[in-house]
Amino acid sequence: MELPEKVDPPAPPASDHSSNTTVATGPLSTSPSAFVGAYNTNYGALTLALGDTQQSLVGTYQGQEQGRLAGTVTGTRFSYLWRDDEHKTQGHGYFELTTDGGVAGRWGYDEDESGQGDWYGFRTQ
């Protein structure tokens, strides 16, 4: 899967939300379109858009770092490859939909998808 060069920028955040999010426990959606949108995350702005295959998403993030991500959705989980071209780093991670319409997950370097910490955010559009 090819990582995107650019995804439309997100709108500014509407309000400040805490990191207390609850991951949905039931099958909220199996459609990648449920993830599409802009988010304000603990690492900055994140934008997700539909990819070129039926279950795929692409996106960009900017804030503390800048980069691109791409992956596939299975159930309520979006598993992705991220790449920071400036620092020449990459890794894997995942997001799950939260009950309040946001995303919550973890990320890691290289093949590790969870070793570097939590990544969560609320939807801004």
Whether 120 and 106 have beta carbons less than 8 Å apart is answered as no
- State how far the Cα of 50 lies from the Cα of 38, in Å rounded to an integer: 12
Q: Is residue 45 part of a domain?
A: no
Q: Is residue 32 part of a domain?
A: no
Q: Is residue 36 part of a domain?
A: no
What is the full DSSP assignment across 35-81? T-EEEEETTEEEEEEE-SSTTEEEEEEEESSEEEEEEEEETTEEEEE
Q: Is residue 34 part of a domain?
A: no
What confidence tens digit (pLDDT) does each residue in 4-51 have?
Answer: 555 554 444 444 444 455 554 555 456 899 999 999 999 999 999 999
Q: What is the pLDDT of residue 21?
A: 52
| pTM for the model | 0.77
